[in-house]
Amino acid sequence: MADPEIKSYEPHHESQSAAVTESRPARLALMAVAFTFLGIFLLLPLIIVFNEALAKGVGAYTQSLSDPDARSAIRLTLLVAAISVPLNIVFGISAAWAIAKFEFKGKAFLTTLIDLPFSVSPVISGLVYVLLFGAQGLLGGWLKAHGIVILFAVPGIVLATVFVTFPFVARELIPLMQEQGNGDEEAALSLGANGWQTFWYVTLPNVKWGLLYGVLLCNARAMGEFGAVSVVSGHIRGLTNTMPLHVEILYNEYNAVGAFAVASLLAGLALVTLVLKTLLEMRYGAEIAATRGH
């Protein structure tokens, strides 16, 4: 996103050069088409979530949310995000440090590999763990012999979530740290700071908003992931059902209010994410990497 300052003078600029914009009717028509499209495809789905959740009143809504299975789904989702997001933060910082601060052979290839999970279907992301840890899997026999349960349990859900949210923090930090260069760190080191101090007092403050931005997106995906988690979870109610999976179960049982009540929490999370993301972009646009998407 460009700086707000740059944006602010544009209306003035625009009115000056009528030759390079469409005629007023054309402009209005284009805007009408765009808003109709966005209204139908983005706004209506959002509205209907809350509409359906409250279709039978606030009482039914709160009752659906206090259902023990819904509660346990919420707890599991929070737990999974609380494990997988920090793991990917550590990885993201570490990978960004190696890639942005140093020149080495195969760097471009490594960067491509980090993006790999984005081009794999979520179902395949879950499948790879089933093939690895499942009863017929490569490690299945060994795990069984040692009494270790990964699949259809929390560890499997965490692994699948880590897989699909893997690139978020790294791909936010890498371009940002590359842009900032090594000058600050070299200065700190020459003044006698050790590596850890340099990271903690120099690098981290420089990238904190970008990091927060990446974490925000990573968390939204971690809490909302459906396909990958669905494959590895086993859908055991009250045990291995995350919120999105619980939404599916309730919906398939024709419990619309229940399904949309849980869905409304996830939609609320999405809205909070969008608001925070927009605020970060507005206030700290320059301190967030220019790369967007996902």
Stretch that binds other proteins, among 7-15, 67-75, 146-154, 207-215 (CB under 8 A): 7-15
Closer to other proteins by CB, 97 or 284: give it: 97
> In which residue are the tokens 């919120």 written?
243
Closer to other proteins by CB, 12 or 146: give it: 12
Residues 50-79 that bind other proteins (CB under 8 A): 52
**Identity of residue 239:** L
Handedness of CA 227, 231, 237, 239 (dihedral sign): negative
Site mask for other proteins (CB under 8 A), range 16-55, x = bound: -x-xxxxx--xx--xx-xxx-xx-xxxxxxx-xx--x---
Of the residues 62, 71, 149, 186, which one makes contact with other proteins according to CB under 8 A = 186
CB of 62 to other proteins, least distance (A): 19
CB of 196 to other proteins, least distance (A): 9
Residue 197 interacting with other proteins (CB under 8 A): no
Site size toward other proteins, by CB under 8 A: 109
Residue 168 interacting with other proteins (CB under 8 A): no
| Cβ(115)–Cβ(174) below 8 Å | no
Handedness of CA 147, 150, 153, 154 (dihedral sign): positive
Closer to other proteins by CB, 145 or 254: give it: 254
Residue 153 interacting with other proteins (CB under 8 A): no
> In which residue are the tokens 């990271």 written?
199
Residues 93-122 that bind other proteins (CB under 8 A): 94-95, 97-99, 101-105, 110, 113-114, 116-117, 119-122
Secondary structure of 226-278 in HEC code, one letter for each residue: CHHHHHHHCCCCCCCCCHHHHHHHHHHCCCHHHHHHHHHHHHHHHHHHHHHHH
| Cβ(164)–Cβ(228) below 8 Å | yes
Of the residues 132, 154, 239, 280, which one makes contact with other proteins according to CB under 8 A = 132
Residue 127 interacting with other proteins (CB under 8 A): yes
Residue 123 interacting with other proteins (CB under 8 A): yes
By C-alpha distance, which of 122, 174, 176, 134 is closest to 287?
Answer: 176
Residue 202 interacting with other proteins (CB under 8 A): no
Report the distance separating Cα 156 and Cα 149, nearest Å.
Answer: 8
Instruction: Please give the DSSP secondary-structure letter assigned to residue 137.
Output: S
